[in-house]
Chains A and B, each alone.
Chain A
Amino acid sequence: MLKELKTVYHQGSQYIRDLRQTEVPGIFKGRPVISSDACDEAALIELCPTDAITSSPLCIDLGKCIFCGACAFHSPNKIKFTKDYHLSVNCRDALIIKAGEDKPLQIEISKVRPEIISMFKGSFKLRQVSAGGDNSAELELNASGNVQFDMGRLGFEFVASPRHADALVITGPITENMAEPLETCLRDAPAPKAIILCGTDAISGGILANSPALNRNFLEKHMVDLYIPGNPPHPLTFINGLLSLLGRDRKK
């Protein structure tokens, strides 16, 4: 018992106090800022592995970007990835970052279904479904509950059954072989239920887009409530996405 207490003492206090403001260590590839400088747009488009870059004006679609950073190294004066990890939106088009714009990505709260905010504001139970995910987003979702990020204190928790869930968190590009189980899982969750796409793979297919082994019909049938870009999304991006969706990021 004393040994355990000693270990607890050495463990110290690990949790990050303010998950909205804390600074991430080192370099972080967060929200990019594109300057209005002239550059070789064609070269950047050619460089991008996922066709996330389009021209005139130069735009980066964070729903397609896998944050490899190749474009920023090619044209450091044109494209910079900032340390801003607040990347989640509820409108797909808002993920497209245009040249000359430098403003935070935000949830359009008026477009969030009112029942999501009214019912889940204090407690949000999530059922994760990996539909071709490569276990990177899954690792980060697990990390969101560890002693550092500790999202449990905010009322966010992953549950074992869709029947206990308020939302489905989907990772991976949605494979043909997972299309039916995913549909079943959504059906088994009680209404109201939110759908959250976690990671670039889920939002657009990412590097796996256009593979004949995928079946993304699910996304045509159901409305998505939250897009969380990243490859994989950082736990801070994920947790802040949930807070923003529920309108909990506003100052009282």
Chain B
Amino acid sequence: MKSLQVTNQQTILTESIPVLPYHDFFANVTALAASESVHCVSYFGYYLTDEMHLICCLADDNDGTVHLLSWKCAKQNVSVPSLTEKNPAFYIFEREIHENFGINFVGHPWLKPVRYAWNRADIGKTIANYPFFRIDSEELHEVGVGPIHAGIIEPGHFRFICSGERILHLEIQLGYQHRGIEQLFLTKSKINQRIALAESIAGDTACGHASAFSFLWESLCGYTASDSTILQRSVAMELERIAIHTGDLAAICTDVAYQLGNSVLGRLRTPMVNFFQEWCGNRLAKGFIRPFGSFYALTPELKQRLKSIFEAYEPDYNEIWNRMKTLPSLLSRLEKTGILKHEKVVEIGTVGISARMAGLNRDIRSSHPYGLFNETKHRAILKNHGDVYSRTQLRNEEIIQSIGYLKEWIENDPEIMPFEQSELKPKANSFTISMTEGWRGEICHCAVTDKDGNLLVYKIKDPSMHNWLALALAVRNNEISDFPIINKSFNLSYCGFDL
């Protein structure tokens, strides 16, 4: 295979990534990605002086490496065969590259705009004129929802084609949240700015994205984080998972009108986010994770506090969960609703919860470990039915698993190092890939630097990038009234996708 294999959070010289002629690139990528254990974690392009460089990153779950391959082309009028024809999981990456740079992928079934980025290749395409799929029929009707929805939720447009109450097709159009974050990473060059940007990629995953950025930046600067920093980040990320999963379970109860579940689980989320506030002064842990260390040490008092929070949480959580799983009126809404089978999730290449709910083992914590997962061997929890209930059960079991990790980790007692802003500069002509497992799934950040160590490109991939199509397919043949509960059970990010 003509690829360079690197490990998670490793920095290499960009020139060591093989640059292949496109047909060779195509053959190698499709051969590698044919295995279920290999999937694309990022595929992006950027401009060099007089050409374009496109890098594809394929994660291999069996040996914990990432295959890097690349190709180059002219800046304009490029037309090449589409990888999507061979492997549908590439559909979103090729759409994105097409939108941003105008490269034509011949044979791609669906080269529609992804997010109407401000610097898109064809500025004539506007968000108000998105080309929705249509069916001419007197039997069918369309339902359009959004961009502004009925609750406190981010904007996006959902266009259903229904036969009576039954959904035949759903197309999801995003882009309303596009803030140009990747470009801001280049123009806002202070480290304090960049970490704040990382925390804003998806504010509900501040720890996940901030950790991905911090690990990347430290690797790029040739710095190794201290044990106490690793402990802090690992604890923060699992705590974020517990808090958000608990909140999601509350919201699932809301969507099936189980008021007691909503109020108990909503209340149980509070001590978790309040612990973040006690620790770092922000309920969503913004301002907490920083490259090279953190202002906020995990003191013995805080560890004790966390233990007592879990002691109070567990009995009440178990009580409500045990009630939920035996309540027929609740289960009848969750079971066999919004099903997506194993073959389908493999085909479209979902990640995180949206993969594990259908028996696809994708979890960076076990396949490409980072932080404390280098020592604590993680075993991903898998469910097999791919319905709303599988996604609900998965959250329940992950909460319990993560509490177990935290109880174990806070027994560790690494020396607390004072936080000092480092003067280290990023290495020149380098490439770094950094992946973490956010509560939604795998987060992937890639950076490429120029000869002076300045960023040439900062590429962000939120797990939602892979997973929105899963929602669109899962609702098919369901009643449209079940859309809210199916949507909530995926809980994908709008801003993480729109960037």
Contacts and interface: CB of A to CB of B under 8 A. Distances in A.
Interface stretch (A87-95, A105-113, A205-213, A240-248): A205-213
Interface stretch (B94-102, B147-155, B214-222, B382-390): B147-155
Q: Residue among A81, A130, A213 with the most chain B CB within 10 A? A: A213
Nearest to A188: B148
Interface in A110-158: 128-143, 146-148, 158
Interface in A72-88: 73, 81
B203 interface: yes
B257 interface: no
Interface string B177-189: 1111101100010
B379 interface: no
Contacts of B181: 208, 211
Contacts of A3: 323
B179 A213 contact: yes
A136 B278 contact: no
Interface stretch (B68-76, B160-168, B193-201, B452-460): B193-201
A177 B178 contact: yes
Interface string B268-299: 00100111011111111011000000010000
Given A3-B323, A26-B279, A139 B178 contact: no
Contacts of B208: none
B12 interface: no
Taking residues whose C-beta sits less than 8 angstroms from the other chain, chain A's interface range is 35 or more
B196 A172 contact: no
A68 B196 contact: yes
Interface stretch (A32-40, A54-62, A178-186): A178-186
Nearest to B190: A49
Interface stretch (A7-15, A96-104, A219-227): A7-15
B286 A160 contact: no
B282 A26 contact: no
Nearest to B116: A177
Nearest to B244: A139
B79 interface: no
Contacts of B282: 29, 67, 231
A191 interface: no
B178 A213 contact: yes
B495 A134 contact: yes
Interface in B295-334: 295, 315-316, 319-320, 323
B399 interface: no
Given A177-B116, A181-B148, A25 B278 contact: yes
B179 A132 contact: yes
Contact of B201 (A4, A134, A146): A134
A137 B203 contact: yes
Contacts of A8: 260
Given A29-B281, A160-B150, A146 B178 contact: no
B202 interface: yes
Nearest to B305: A26
Contacts of B283: 140, 234
Contacts of A173: 179
A146 B295 CA distance: 31
Contacts of B323: 3-4, 7
A176 B115 CA distance: 12
Given A4-B260, A175-B177, A207-B200, A25 B277 contact: yes
B155 A25 contact: no
A124 to B, nearest CB: 15
Nearest to A201: B200
B152 A141 contact: yes
Nearest to B319: A7
A24 B282 CA distance: 11
A46 B178 CA distance: 28
B128 interface: yes
Given A73-B295, A135-B495, A181 B277 contact: no
Instruction: Please name the 9 residue pairs, one residue from A and one from B, whose CB atoms are nearest each other, closest first.
Output: A26-B278, A136-B203, A213-B180, A134-B203, A160-B150, A49-B192, A213-B118, A27-B281, A49-B193
Given A6-B319, A49-B190, A69-B295, 15 more contacts: A10-B315, A66-B286, A68-B192, A68-B286, A69-B281, A130-B153, A132-B178, A133-B177, A137-B203, A139-B247, A139-B284, A143-B266, A172-B177, A201-B200, A208-B179
25 contacts: A7-B264, A7-B320, A10-B316, A28-B281, A68-B287, A69-B281, A69-B295, A73-B295, A81-B281, A128-B152, A134-B201, A134-B495, A135-B203, A136-B286, A138-B154, A139-B204, A146-B266, A147-B267, A160-B150, A177-B498, A178-B147, A211-B118, A211-B183, A212-B180, A213-B180
